Structure 1
């Protein structure tokens, strides 16, 4: 029976009448991903750059999430043509590519998502979940319309090139990562520094002028609202692992007296 793939994240952004709010899914657990998918948030980001996710665990999470009305993006660990091919064949429709610092980086990411002659994506639709094993009619001809590409601006170099990156055909949106951006500016751990915020705002303004959506990572609610007020179309406002860490710590603080286990006032960590 012929099948039809759902709308992309880019299409969801275009149809939205408000900014879209989402969260990181970093645990590597399909069960946790499904819990997050049913939360009522607009979108999820399954991360493989800083999280223990391989192809098999990502596939399981895609399958767990698929029954819920939520958009799913996946971030590979690197902007790599072979890895992007595998992600696309896995059925990932929405990619967030990290560390896109130049126009050349952005063009390489676009090329990896396009079949020849527009790009360099390997052809394996008969073997791949992307085409539902050739059950999606005309998949090869229409594949690029089933994929959205968001590139991550997370360095001072990328901020300087943001207007040119936004102009690359095939880049649907940008996403600003203040943590790595701060580090690249010599302000490690200072995401709220005025210079970092100004750099983020520059990217948001550039995106509005280019007519493309821009998102930003902001776990602080006031910061998230600030960036939304300055043109962000989508935000990440939390993470599954962070919610579990802070929630479990709150339980411990409520029911267990504090104890100091070492001379420097910290508790030992087991590996």
Structure 2
């Protein structure tokens, strides 16, 4: 990395950190996003196309591009969370954390004793952070961020208990699933008023508990709203939407060509 400040330090400083989000399995895409200036790049192993090997490759390219490395794991895969930290992830986001027990099991998988049960073998993490084994062991529990996703009514009901887990660094809100849960499956409304009100309450509780808070945003307006609510980690920008939008814009610039081919203008070649 060109920036030796750890992600945990940036988030705890109170300055918002913006991460892009990657579904498409390609090591170059995360690097491109890192070089574009994102603070961090998140690899989605829950809904994206990334397996373990592809994620580890992506971490290398993200570091080469000068950004911080985040991964979202599949539901309940705490063993994978520990492996990803060994391979250089600075932050792990765990989906569908709905109870204190869920949060505690996840958080402890990321921390060395006495805070957790993580097994020792951070070979790649030591390389990417440029630390000695001794320095890494001393600092790792503080440098490694675990965020439990709050995206259901059950999680909101258990939020005080989740936030009371001492080993847990914070929470991450998924507004889409949250809106589905709040409406009992009646509506997908991540940008709606009810979802925004719930997100504000979640951020307030996280701040009161001294925890970090992150959120997935689908527009620039939502980013501004999230910052005003006190979220420190904000996801804005998805690789699939970047490719789709750029492709459509490129084709729109030569839409006249399609008209010619179809003979609508009467022009020849």
Q: Normalization by structure 1: what TM-score? A: 0.83
Counting only pairs closer than 5 Å after superposition, residues 16-27 of structure 1 correspond to structure 2 as 16=14, 18-27=15-24
SS at 2:21 equivalent: strand
- Paired with 1:215 and 1:124, the residues of 2 have a C-alpha distance of 28
Partner of 2:55: 58
Partner of 1:12: 10
Partner of 2:224: 225
SS at 2:171 equivalent: strand
Partner of 1:90: 87
**Contact 1:7 1:146 (C-alpha < 8 Å) held by counterparts:** no
- Paired with 2:219 and 2:157, the residues of 1 have a C-alpha distance of 25
Measured at CA, do residues 72 and 124 of structure 1 come closer, stay the same or move farther in structure 2, by a change above 3 Å? closer
Aligned-residue offset at 1:217: 0.9
SS at 1:215 equivalent: strand
Counting only pairs closer than 5 Å after superposition, residues 30-109 of structure 1 correspond to structure 2 as 30-109=27-106
- Paired with 2:87 and 2:237, the residues of 1 have a C-alpha distance of 26
**Contact 1:156 1:181 (C-alpha < 8 Å) held by counterparts:** yes
How many residues align? The count is: 252
**Contact 2:116 2:167 (C-alpha < 8 Å) held by counterparts:** no
**Contact 1:166 1:210 (C-alpha < 8 Å) held by counterparts:** yes
Partner of 2:212: 213
Partner of 2:237: 238
Aligned-residue offset at 1:48: 0.8
Question: Is residue 2:239 matched to residue 1:247?
Answer: no
- Paired with 1:172 and 1:164, the residues of 2 have a C-alpha distance of 14
- Paired with 1:231 and 1:172, the residues of 2 have a C-alpha distance of 15
Partner of 2:200: 201
- Paired with 2:79 and 2:232, the residues of 1 have a C-alpha distance of 30
Question: Is residue 2:127 matched to residue 1:115?
Answer: no
**Contact 2:148 2:172 (C-alpha < 8 Å) held by counterparts:** yes
Measured at CA, do residues 8 and 97 of structure 1 come closer, stay the same or move farther in structure 2, by a change above 3 Å? farther
Partner of 1:262: none
**What are the superposed Cα offsets for residues 113-169 of structure 1, whole Å, 9 maximum, x if unpaired?**
1335543323345xx323449952264455423311111111111122222212211
Aligned-residue offset at 1:171: 1.5
Partner of 1:267: none
SS at 1:74 equivalent: strand
- Paired with 1:68 and 1:254, the residues of 2 have a C-alpha distance of 30
Residue of 154, 162, 166 corresponding to 1:165: 162
Question: Is residue 2:153 matched to residue 1:177?
Answer: no
- Paired with 1:214 and 1:145, the residues of 2 have a C-alpha distance of 16
Partner of 1:269: none
Root-mean-square deviation (Å): 2.5
Q: Which runs of 5+ in 2 are unaligned?
A: 260-269
**Contact 1:21 1:41 (C-alpha < 8 Å) held by counterparts:** yes
Partner of 1:129: 124
**Which segments of structure 1 move beyond 6 Å, counting only runs of 4 or more?**
none
- Paired with 1:66 and 1:219, the residues of 2 have a C-alpha distance of 25
Looking at secondary structure, tell me which structure has more helix per residue: 2
Q: Which runs of 5+ in 1 are unaligned?
A: 260-271
